[in-house]
């Protein structure tokens, strides 16, 4: 049986890095609590403030095994910074994240997940439809990227960056969903909205009944309000402390 190396970085890294580690580990645990994890695959990455270093999960660990201390610190090329780090990362898994971090310096956190519903919606020609209020939030800032196989081609990064533009939500065709945010909390709330929007769309369409689409002028109005949706005091900053408390209640070892 593989034993996970036990280590603690608390007090050994800057306060900014430690807080980022705690927030990111909490985000991984929340993914498990929502049933969004995919064995040891998919990734959430976060930039350490005021640095060009990033944190990502150790390859081979399940999301409910992620702690603040066993997150791996890397550079934009996926090189591990701490040479005595006992873990490795999935280089293919970081391809998408490095592309986003490289192009979007406004985003601290990038989430990429493979939920059934996001794959389903990403795989239909129409993509996300204006069928629910959750969809309104995502449609305010959404983009699409066509499937090109496993994300190991460096040339795909340029196309993904171009497709992403300044959007905060992306549906990866035949693949899954991606969100980003100025904080870990913002990225999580964006993914929450995207996942709920896709889940609701699948449920509505499965009924085989005529649908009521929100009119485009209303969608456009939501877009105009997008700057106050899940950002700042009205979004990640307000909801994230509650999410942290939930993870602490469930298993406080994530913050070790």
Predicted local distance difference test score (pLDDT) of residue 232? 52
Calculate what percentage of the chain has a pLDDT beyond 90. Answer: 74
pLDDT tens track for 83-136: 888 899 988 778 899 999 999 999 999 999 999 999 999 999 999 999 999 999
* Alpha carbon distance 244, 204 (integer Å): 32
Predicted local distance difference test score (pLDDT) of residue 199? 97
Q: Which residues contact 151 (CB under 8 A, 6 or more apart)?
A: 92, 93, 95, 96
Q: Is residue 253, in this structure, part of any structural domain at all?
A: no
pLDDT band at 59 (very low <50, low <70, confident <90, very high): very high
Residue 52 lies in domain: 15-244
Predicted local distance difference test score (pLDDT) of residue 148? 85
Query: How many separate domains does the chain show?
Result: 1
* Alpha carbon distance 251, 26 (integer Å): 10
Task: Name the strands in the sheet holding 142-145, side by side, starting at the edge strand that comes first in the sequence.
Answer: 72-74, 54-56, 43-47, 109-113, 176-181, 169-172, 142-145
pLDDT tens track for 155-178: 788 899 999 999 999 999 999 999
Q: Is residue 252, in this structure, part of any structural domain at all?
A: no
pLDDT tens track for 193-218: 999 999 999 999 999 999 999 999 88
Predicted local distance difference test score (pLDDT) of residue 151? 64
Q: Is residue 6, in this structure, part of any structural domain at all?
A: no
pLDDT of 230 over the 60 cut: no
What is the rounded end-to-end Cα distance, in angstroms, of the chain? Answer: 22
Q: Is residue 3, in this structure, part of any structural domain at all?
A: no
Q: Is residue 185, in this structure, part of any structural domain at all?
A: yes
Angle subtended at Cα 131 by Cα 128 and Cα 133, rounded to the nearest 5 degrees: 100
Predicted local distance difference test score (pLDDT) of residue 229? 53
| Pair 192, 240: CB distance under 8 Å | no
Q: Is residue 239, in this structure, part of any structural domain at all?
A: yes
Q: Is residue 9, in this structure, part of any structural domain at all?
A: no
CA-nearest of 65, 23, 77 to 40 is: 65
Q: Is residue 256, in this structure, part of any structural domain at all?
A: no
Q: Which residues pair with 41 in a beta bridge?
A: 38
Task: Mean pLDDT check: name the lowest of 19-33, 73-87, 219-233.
Answer: 219-233
Predicted local distance difference test score (pLDDT) of residue 223? 74
Q: Which residues pair with 74 in a beta bridge?
A: 54, 80
Predicted local distance difference test score (pLDDT) of residue 73? 97
Q: Is the pTM of this model over 0.95?
A: no
* Alpha carbon distance 194, 155 (integer Å): 27
Per-residue tokens: 124: 């239909």
CA-nearest of 109, 67, 114, 108 to 87 is: 67
CATH number at residue 230: 3.40.225.10
pLDDT band at 220 (very low <50, low <70, confident <90, very high): confident
Predicted local distance difference test score (pLDDT) of residue 237? 74
Task: Mean pLDDT check: name the lowest of 25-29, 34-38, 186-190, 238-242.
Answer: 238-242
Predicted local distance difference test score (pLDDT) of residue 7? 81
Predicted local distance difference test score (pLDDT) of residue 2? 65
Predicted local distance difference test score (pLDDT) of residue 156? 83
């Amino acid at each position: 049986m593989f034993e996970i190396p036990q280590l603690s970085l608390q007090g050994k890294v800057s306060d900014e890095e430690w807080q980022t580690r705690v927030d990111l580990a909490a985000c991984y645990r929340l993914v498990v609590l929502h049933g969004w994890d995919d064995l040891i695959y998919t990734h959430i990455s976060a930039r350490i403030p005021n640095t060009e270093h990033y944190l990502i999960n150790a390859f081979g660990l399940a999301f409910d095994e992620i702690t603040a201390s066993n997150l791996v610190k890397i550079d934009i090329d996926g090189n591990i910074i701490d040479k005595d780090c006992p873990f490795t990362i999935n280089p293919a898994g970081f391809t998408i994240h490095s592309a986003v971090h490289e192009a979007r310096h406004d985003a601290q956190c990038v989430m990429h997940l493979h939920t059934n519903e996001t794959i389903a919606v990403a795989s239909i020609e129409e993509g996300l439809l204006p069928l629910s209020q959750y969809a309104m939030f995502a449609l305010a800032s959404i983009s699409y990227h066509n499937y090109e196989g496993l994300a190991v081609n460096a040339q795909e990064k340029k196309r993904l960056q171009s497709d992403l533009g300044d959007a905060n939500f992306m549906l990866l065709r035949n693949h899954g969903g991606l969100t980003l945010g100025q904080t870990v909390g913002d990225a999580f709330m964006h993914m929450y909205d995207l996942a709920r929007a896709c889940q609701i769309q699948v449920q509505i369409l499965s009924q085989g009944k005529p649908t009521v689409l929100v009119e485009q002028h209303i969608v456009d109005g939501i877009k105009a309000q997008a700057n106050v949706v899940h950002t700042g005091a009205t979004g990640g900053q307000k909801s994230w402390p509650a999410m942290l408390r939930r993870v602490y209640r469930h298993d406080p070892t994530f913050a070790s």
